[in-house]
Chains A and B, each alone.
Chain A
Amino acid sequence: QLQLQESGSRLVKPSQTLSLTCAVSGGSISSGLYSWSWVRQPPGKVLEWIGYFYSGTTYYTPSLKSRVTFSVDKSKNHFSLRLTSVTAADTAVYYCTRGDCTTGVCPLDYWGQGALVTVSS
C-alpha cells in the first residue's frame, strides 16, 4: 500500500522559506506512470494545486511560480517543496499527492496526511 508522509518546519517566519519533504513508501517515485504533486489548503478554505513533476517535467501554478521549487531525491524516494518569501497568506495545510496517470487522466489518488504550516513571527 502506497503511503506518503510530509515532514518539515511547521512554523515559518514571514519573508523566510517554507520547506517540506514528502517521503514515499510502498512505491517508487521513479515510475513514469505517476505524477507527484503538492496541494495546499488554507484553514477553512478551498484546495489549491501548487504543481507537479511528471515524466521529467516540472510544472508550477502561475500564481506561485516565482517563489516555488520542487526537487526530487530518487535515492531516498522522496520529493520536496520550497516556497520562498512567505507571508501569512501561505499559512495552510500542505499535502503531497500521487497522480495515477496510467489511464491518462491523472487523478490524485494517494495523499499524505497533510502538514499544517503556519507563517508567523
Chain B
Amino acid sequence: GDSVTQMEGPVTLSEEAFLTINCTYTATGYPSLFWYVQYPGEGLQLLLKATKADDKGSNKGFEATYRKETTSFHLEKGSVQVSDSAVYFCALRLPYGQNFVFGPGTRLSVLP
C-alpha cells in the first residue's frame, strides 16, 4: 500500500543550525508530495508542496525537492529559528484520489 516514512525524532538543534528531515514514500503512480507543520495544540498547516518530479517546493526558508529516482522529498532549512520548533509531517496524495497519506511526523526542537 501507499506509505510515507520519516526520520524518527525528536530532532534537537541550536538556533541557526542547518536542518534536514528525511522523507521517503511508496506509492502506485505519481503522487503529489507535501510538508505540513503542526505547532503545539494546533491543527496542521501546509508548509510546501511539489506536484511532479524535480519540482522544488519552498516557503519561509524551507525547501524540498521531489526526487522520483529515490522516491524522496527531504525537508531542508539553512538556518533554523526557535520559532521553527514544531512537528513536521510529510504526506502524499495520489493523482486520482482525494485522500492524503501522512508520515508519523518528526518533532523539531530548536534551542536558543
Determine if chain A interacts with chain B.
no
A residues lining the B interface (CB < 8 Å)? none
